[in-house]
Amino acid sequence: MENRSVSVVVPVFNEEKTIAQVVEPLLKTPLVSEVICVNDGSWDKTLTILKSFGNRIKLVDLKKNHGKGFALALGVKKAVSEIVVFLDGDLLGLRPGHVDKLVTPLLNGQARVTMGLVPFSSTLAKPVSSFTGQRGYWRKDLVPYLKRISKTRYGVEVYLNSLFDKREVAKIDLPDLIYLAKRHKMPFSEVPAAYLIQILEISKTVAKVNGTKLKHISSYFDGYFKNHD
Tens of pLDDT along 139-177?
999 999 999 999 987 789 989 999 999 999 999 999 999
pLDDT digits (tens, 9 = 90+) for 198-228: 556 555 554 565 554 545 444 444 444 444 3
CATH number at residue 66: 3.90.550.10
Among residues 92, 97, 166, the alpha carbon closest in space to that of 130 is found at 166
93, 130, 203, 222 from 218: Cα distances, Å: 34, 17, 8, 6
Any domain includes 1: no
The amino acid that residue 225 corresponds to is F
Looking at every residue in the chain, the average pLDDT score rounds to 83
Is residue 177 within 8 Å of residue 129, measured between CB atoms? no
| 14, part of any domain | yes
Domain region containing 109? 6-227
32 lies in a domain? yes
Q: Is residue 78 part of a domain?
A: yes
Asked whether residue 161 is domain-assigned, the answer is yes
Number of domains the chain is built from: 1
Is residue 67 situated within a structural domain? yes
Look at residue 191 and tell me if it is in a domain: yes
pLDDT of residue 154: 76
Helix ranges (H only) for 79-155 are 96-107, 139-142, 146-149
